[in-house]
Amino acid sequence: MNRFGIHARPAALFVKTANNFQSEIMVEKDGLKVPGKSIIGLLTLEGYQGAVIRITALGADAAEALQALEELVRQKFFED
């Protein structure tokens, strides 16, 4: 959603948020899945503005993790 996509700063914010949860978090774009707690993994997705990503979480706090990460994406990683 943000105009710069997922570059280093948004990836770091995403990972920082994801690491607040015990659940396993995965991010998928165009069939490529990466761990949501890996900055390098997120950068390999090449998430440009308009790209569709899918975030999944598995674990005791999965719902809370998804809510927090969804809000981060909706807020455009606080860049706009």
Query: Which residue of the set 7, 26, 39, 55 is catalytic?
Result: 7
**Residue of 17, 74, 54 whose CA lies nearest to 45:** 54
Is residue 19 annotated as a catalytic residue, yes or no? no
Contact call for residues 10 and 41 (beta carbons, < 8 A):
no
Helices (H), 1-80: 8-18, 39-44, 62-74
Query: Mind telling me the catalytic residues?
Result: 7
